[in-house]
A and B are shown apart, each in its own frame.
Chain A
Amino acid sequence: MEHTPPQFFHRGPAPIARLTFFALLSVFLMVLDARFRYAEPLRQVLAIVAYPLQQIATAPFTAIARSREFFSTQSALREQNTALRAQKLRDAEDLLKLQALRTENDSLRRLLAAKEQVPGEAIFAEIVYAGRDPFSRKVIIDRGAQHGVQTGQPVVDASGVLGQVTRVQPLLAEVTLIIDKDHAIPVQVVRNGLRGVAYGSGDGSTLELRHMASNAEVEAGDLLVTSGLDGLYPRGLPVAKIAKIERDSAYAFAKILGQPVAGTTQHQQVLVLAAEASAPTWSAEPDRAKKGARTKRSARKGE
């Protein structure tokens, strides 16, 4: 070792060696994350580092939204108030009906010895921002593990299903939207009870009802609601409206596209529902669609 350079010129390992090391480490982490989801603890540590920066970056936008709310004119408020009163009256009527129906439903269920659906506790949250990852469709909400959010919980807004919590950080949670390509949700056509599974179509704004026969009885404008078959989403939540149907006799299946009913704007309020308590036991062989299985598996872990 007489020919080692003096310490003055020492520059550590060669760049290509460093690159190889870090590239292999990245690939290792990606495989862990994508296939086994073991990278969560490290992710949580880094999330704590990124959180203050994130808060600083989003603070001006939050402040602007808040101040705009503060400076809204009185007439606008009065208008809104009148509209809300009218809405409340209309809703009160529905609510009365609902109560009657619920008691009736309860007694009927008891008669059928069906499991009672326990309405769980819902967590109120606000969308902080849409995920910046252009390869997936996610939003970030301002409630996390500290507030009791768990992976797998369904998230809804005033008009319908928004998605599902897929990753929880201490103070934030990530919601995968129903329009994400990797998301699947079991649905039912309200008009005739036809069941199917809706996937994110991959174009970023629509859902696709796959594996429906080309003569399936679906029409444009039909409302899709959750069927509750996955034991995850409660039954009967609006999901999407059928927007377009292409029937081609050359193919066995029709191409059915739906427009989601829930919106995903910033500072929008959402509800994180409790996951269904009466989930059936996991069957021995999960022979369901592969795409949905990933999200469901993660959901099951969280329960």
Chain B
Amino acid sequence: MAANPHHILQPVKVGFMTASVVAALAFNLLPWQDVRGVPDLLALVLTFWCVHQPRKMGIGIAWLLGLVMDTANGALFGQHALAYAALAYTAQGLHRRILSFPPWPQALHVLVLLLGSQLLMLAVRMLAGGTFPGVSFFVGGVIAAALWPLATFVLLAPQRRPHEVDETRPI
């Protein structure tokens, strides 16, 4: 299921990228009553597209989506935006390195990226005088990183070619 170097993917559809981002945003907007440790799927999907399609997904879109998250969450305005922009920047910068690894080491890279963005949010909120939410705040990042191989499987599915061998196909 990994991005096999011998397996050539079809070009991505922008419509699918948009749909996946909207779905992740909707997941984040579910009424997570007092459940802590819910993975931030939007951050995961953003990281995914920044790694796989760094020319189509970038810092600007991530920043805007962060603003939407801040509004919906009632968080400090710009907190998610800053974290997502930094996340998109690092993911774009590291995309060649990350893609050269098999799925689980990729997930380790993503874990570092996600925890980094959460640390940034924590730092900003502590500076603004917020309550320390406890270590459970970081559980979401760990779970999201563990979902990376699954995300790779699902989000790359539309780009995979069918397996049947066609004699007339050049590659």
Contact = CB atoms under 8 A, between A and B. Distances in A.
Interface of A: 11, 15-16, 18-19, 22-23, 25-30, 32-34, 39, 42-43, 46-47, 49-50, 53-54, 56-58, 61, 128-138, 140, 167, 174, 180-182, 200, 202-204, 266
B57 interface: no
A138 B74 CA distance: 8
Contacts of B58: 15, 18
Interface string B25-46: 1111111111010000000000
Given A23-B86, A129-B33, 18 more contacts: A15-B59, A18-B59, A23-B85, A25-B78, A27-B82, A29-B67, A43-B71, A46-B67, A46-B68, A50-B71, A53-B26, A54-B72, A58-B30, A132-B32, A135-B76, A135-B130, A181-B131, A202-B131
B25 to A, nearest CB: 6
A39 to B, nearest CB: 4
Contacts of B78: 25-30, 33, 39
B63 interface: yes
**7 closest A-B pairs by CB:** A135-B130, A129-B31, A29-B78, A26-B82, A33-B77, A134-B133, A26-B78
B92 interface: yes
B93 A15 contact: yes
Q: What is the interface residue range for chain B against chain A?
A: 35 or more
A41 to B, nearest CB: 11
A34 B128 contact: yes
16 contacts: A18-B89, A22-B60, A22-B85, A23-B82, A23-B86, A26-B66, A26-B85, A50-B71, A53-B22, A54-B72, A57-B31, A135-B125, A136-B130, A137-B131, A174-B74, A181-B129
Contacts of B72: 47, 50, 53-54, 132
A130 B68 CA distance: 17
Contacts of A182: 129
Given A18-B89, A23-B85, A133 B75 contact: yes
A295 to B, nearest CB: 12
A29 B32 contact: no
B63 A54 contact: no
B13 to A, nearest CB: 21
B128 A30 contact: yes
B79 interface: yes
Contacts of A28: 78
